[in-house]
Chains A and B, each alone.
Chain A
Amino acid sequence: AQSVTQLGSHVSVSEGALVLLRCNYSSSVPPYLFWYVQYPNQGLQLLLKYTSAATLVKGINGFEAEFKKSETSFHLTKPSAHMSDAAEYFCAVSANTGFQKLVFGTGTRLLVSP
């Protein structure tokens, strides 16, 4: 079985500051890991995914995440926040075989102030 824990339901940063959103996973098999973003009244959009190639994954909009097996973590970072980054971010995990059902965390709302 797979699960993810997102630490912090809300994260506030100033425009231009580092963004760090935390995600820890639990999986009984080698996992695939994902970050999705959700803007108000919209569906989810894939930011990036880890599928056991490089441990540092680069995604869209300047985001990246690092898979750390020893820490069971997959934290999302961005060097400099923009106002447009304000949204809800979800970490998700799936098995790397079979039908690869996605299991989502509870989300972290990113607030960006001027």
Chain B
Amino acid sequence: EAGVAQSPRYKIIEKRQSVAFWCNPISGHATLYWYQQILGQGPKLLIQFQNNGVVDDSQLPKDRFSAERLKGVDSTLKIQPAKLEDSAVYLCASSLEAGAPQHFGDGTRLSIL
């Protein structure tokens, strides 16, 4: 089975610019997650979707971050405007349902200059 696909793999932008990341989950997976992994730390959940509805976005900085999952399949995560502290790896994961094993993509490494 194809894994979770993410693009781009790397992105370099200047602060105050905007950026978007894309995730294609494993086919049939109802639950999709976006994590932020800052260097030297574990992943932190930003947002969790069940189909195309949000079930947890308590740690998403909503003044600058937004995410959507149209038609309950692909998802995009956007940052506008970016700050230096947003430099991190952004990981997307999916699972058959909430609580099922999560499958991770290889992530997008974001560097803010």
Binding site for B on A (CB under 8 A): 9, 32, 41-46, 49, 90, 92, 94, 98-107
A46: contacting residue among B91, B98, B101, CB under 8 A? B101
Are A42 and B106 interface neighbours, CB within 8 A? yes
Assuming the contacts A99-B48, A99-B56, A100-B98, asked whether A107 and B106 have C-beta atoms less than 8 A apart, the reply is no
Which residues of A sit under 8 angstroms from B4, Cβ to Cβ?
43
Interface of A is mostly: loop
Are B102 and A46 interface neighbours, CB within 8 A? yes
Shortest Cβ distance from A91 into B: residue? B42
Are B91 and A107 interface neighbours, CB within 8 A? no
CB distance from B7 to the nearest CB of A (A): 13
B104: contacting residue among A44, A101, A103, A105, CB under 8 A? A44
Q: How far, in angstroms, from A9 to B48 measured CA to CA in the complex? A: 28
Which residues of A sit under 8 angstroms from B41, Cβ to Cβ?
106-107
Listed A/B pairs (26) with beta-carbon separation below 8 Å: A41-B106, A41-B109, A42-B106, A42-B107, A43-B4, A43-B91, A43-B93, A44-B93, A44-B102, A44-B104, A45-B104, A99-B48, A99-B50, A99-B56, A99-B99, A101-B45, A101-B56, A102-B43, A102-B45, A103-B45, A104-B44, A105-B42, A106-B40, A106-B41, A106-B42, A107-B42
Restricting to B1-26, which residues have a CB under 8 Å from any CB of A?
A: 4
Please name 13 further chain A to chain B contacts, defined as beta carbons within 8 Å, in addition to the given A46-B102, A107-B40, sorted by A numbering: A32-B99, A42-B106, A44-B43, A44-B104, A98-B98, A100-B99, A101-B45, A102-B45, A103-B45, A104-B42, A105-B42, A106-B42, A107-B41
